[in-house]
Structure formats: C-alpha cells, structure tokens
Structure 1
Amino acid sequence: MFLRLLFVLLVALNIAVGAWLMLGQDDAHGRSVTDPGVPMLHLLSEQSAAPVAGRPPVASTAPAQAASAAVALETRCLAIGPFGTPQDLRTARGALAGPGVRMRSRQEQATETGAWWVYLPAPGTRAQALALARRLDAAHVGDYFVMSSGDQSNAISLGLFKDPANARKRRDEVAAAGFAAQIQERTEQVPEYWLDLVVADGARLDWRGRVRTAGVGSHSTSCF
C-alpha cells in the first residue's frame, strides 16, 4: 500500500515539473510577454534615463548669449586726440598704460588752413598783368608780385597771411585804391595722431587727469 502511494506521488511530481518547464519559462523558448506588433511598455524612470532615438540633445545658447552681453557691458572704447607729434602720442600712451586698458596708435591725414592769400585775379595775358602792376605802382600800392607759373599764372599776389584779420585788412587797403582784391584760403594736408583705448568699466580711467597735451579731446569709437 505504501509503495503504491509513493509511486503515485512521484508520477504527479514529474507531471508538475514537466508542466512548469513547458509553460513557465517564456524567455527560454523565445516567446514574448506581449502579442506580436505591440510595443514593449517601459517605466517613466527608464525613459528619462536615455535620449529619444534619432534626436540629439539640444544645448541651450542662453548662457553664451548672456556671457557676450556681459562682455559688451564691461568695456567702453574711446579715441583720444588728435596729437600733433608722435612724441606727444608716446607720452600719452605711457601715461595711460595700466591694468584693464588696451591701446593702439594710428595716424590720419587731416586738412587744415595754412594761410589766407590776398591777390588780384589774372587779367588774361602776361602783358595785361604787367600793365596792371604799373597801375598798382601809380596808386602807391606796393608789396606785390606778378605770378609767372602755376595754376595762378599772371595773377598778382598781394601777400600771404596766417591771421585772417590781417588778410582782410590788406584786401580792404588795396580795394580802397581802386582794385578788386580777393582772399583765398590756402589748405594743406597735415598728419594727426590718435590713441584708441578699450577700457574696462571697473578701471574708471580718468584720462584727462593724465594727458596734459593742449587741444586734445575724446569721442566714442568702435572697439577692437
């Protein structure tokens, strides 16, 4: 009786083990826990840990833009000048050198008035110019010169003056003697020297307290 009961128990145990091996191990036999064509579900924690396929992460440009704006607010750019000589420029550069200051020197050409010329326009021919000169002598108008070359050939020069007031006085004297004297402004090209500065706002540079050259000013300029 006991042996028969033991045999039945062993047969039942074998049947149970076989059923578990056949039905309880899906992965071992290549079966999926989902139906064909249905995507696998993932936890939210699993999805946040990995980037979306085919879409690279986008870096924010806000920090870079903020940094650029901060740099623009931290500096100011000035042009100081004009200096009349290179030595004046070098002296100013040495006086302004220091932490937080970047400098560059440059030279430009400027047009300035050199003198005022009083003259009688050329009458036409050389003979007419000489006849006009004899009339000046007769009217006791001296200190003149008949031009013989250049773009003012045959004009009669009555003087070259640095002071415009003196030029007007000479013109009026000759006009009172009966001659239509004129004044022409003479210009020339002269070099000017400038010092460009890029200054950090925190430096608080008082350039006027360091540069003693007369006639020098400043204006805003583009940074470099």
Structure 2
Amino acid sequence: MLTRALIVVLAILNVGVALWWMLRGEPAPVPPAMPSGVARLQLLDTPPAAAPAAAPAARSAALDDVTPTPPTSAPPATAEVAPGAARPPAATAAAATPASIPAPTPPAAPATPVALRCISLGPFADRDTAMAAQGKAGALVQRSRLREVPKPGASSTYRVMMPAAASRDEAQAMVKRIAAAGISDYYIMGQGDDANAIALGQYRNREGAERRLAALSAAGFTARLVASGGAEGAQWWIDAALADTASAGTTRQRSGAAQQRSLECAGLR
C-alpha cells in the first residue's frame, strides 16, 4: 500500500516538472562581453516634438570615446513650427486672409433707344437725279423713299396712260382688249403729241395712280404715270429716316439737296 502511494507521488512530480519545463519560456540571451576601453551606449529620452536632425547629435554626445565624424552638407530643410510655438506674422496673415474672390460684374444697363428723326431732301428735277442723291446719302440714313410732287403752281393731278399707237385702228383694238379684261375708265386721245394714246384715269394723289398701274400690270398691260403738266411739271423729294449719329445738315450736304424739311416718321414705318 505504501509502495503504491509513492509511485503516485512520483508520477505527479514528474508531470509537474514536465509542465514547468514546457511553460518556462526562452531564456534571455546573455549580452556578449564588451571589450575593454569602449564606452557603453546609452539611449536618452527625447521629447516628442524634437526635430529629427537633433537625434544624431544626441547619440554622438552620448559616446564619450568615439570621435565624431564631420557632418555632411545637406539641403536646408523647411522649418517646422511646433504645435505650441508662435506662428510667424507673414504665415498668420496669409492664413487669416481669405482667398480673394472677384466681385460679380453688374449687368450692363440697356442702351436708351434714340428717337427716330426724319427729313425730306429736295427738290430734284427728275427721278434719276433723286436716285443718285439717295445713293450719296449712304449710311447717314436708315431708310428712305422717293416721292414725286407737282411743282408749285402746277395742277396736282396724275394721269395713267398707255403709249400712243401707230394708228387709230391699233388704238381701238387695244381698247377692246382692255374692255375684255374687265377694265373700265379709258378713252383714246385724238390730238396733240399724245394722239392715239390711251388714257386710263386721272388722280389727285400718286397713291391712287400707282394702284391703277398695279391693276393694269396684273392684267398684262404696260402703262406709265405722268404728272399733270408733263415731266417739267413735277419734282422729286427724298423722304429719309436719319441714322443715330447723323445730322440733318450733314445729310443734306452729302446728298446735294438744296433744301431740307422736317417730316413725320409715321409715313416711313
């Protein structure tokens, strides 16, 4: 009985020794022996904000017997400001000044329209002269038109006529064609320079005569408008709207007109 108890105790001791051997860990390495005459290296605590360049100087100062090597030239590093240090005035001003933002450009004010000014230039002896004067005015006028009026003292009427035929029979044949087209108010002139010409109406204003000409042209007939008294009894004027920068006097001189008169612009719109 005693022998069995000893065996159990020995087994437990063996198991305990085995567990201690397994759990004891690796033994700490023994540092090699330093040669005589060499100082031992000691690490110094440095503050967290110390510049990296100060570490080599601290380590070299810790070695009493080691001859320091001459420092090599290095490019200058940009100085860093510690968290608690004062910021330079220039940097503080740059950080405090916001980025310059250009002010929005105000919208341009709409241009004030210039009131339209209209004049009549003339008188001109015939249509061709008036057309030439109209071209000379050029850019001084915005738009223009020609207007024929009777000379002072002449009857203010306009006649619509067809050219004189070679004989009375030809004139009568033309009258039959005019009547067949549904056109009335006509007669054959029997004497004078306009003998055998066909008169197709007499009007007090030019607008009525021009409407008659348009109706004859649509029906296929060629006619002409004659102011009362012939070509010698009429004169021509230019009704024009001046450009914004033009003056009435300059426009009159450029066109070669002898006179200028004020004109309501409603008729030119």
Identify the TM-score tier after normalising by the shorter chain.
Answer: 0.3 to 0.5
Q: Would you tell me which structure has more strand in proportion to its own residues?
A: 1
Name the TM-score, length of structure 1 as normaliser.
0.34
Name the TM-score, length of structure 2 as normaliser.
0.28
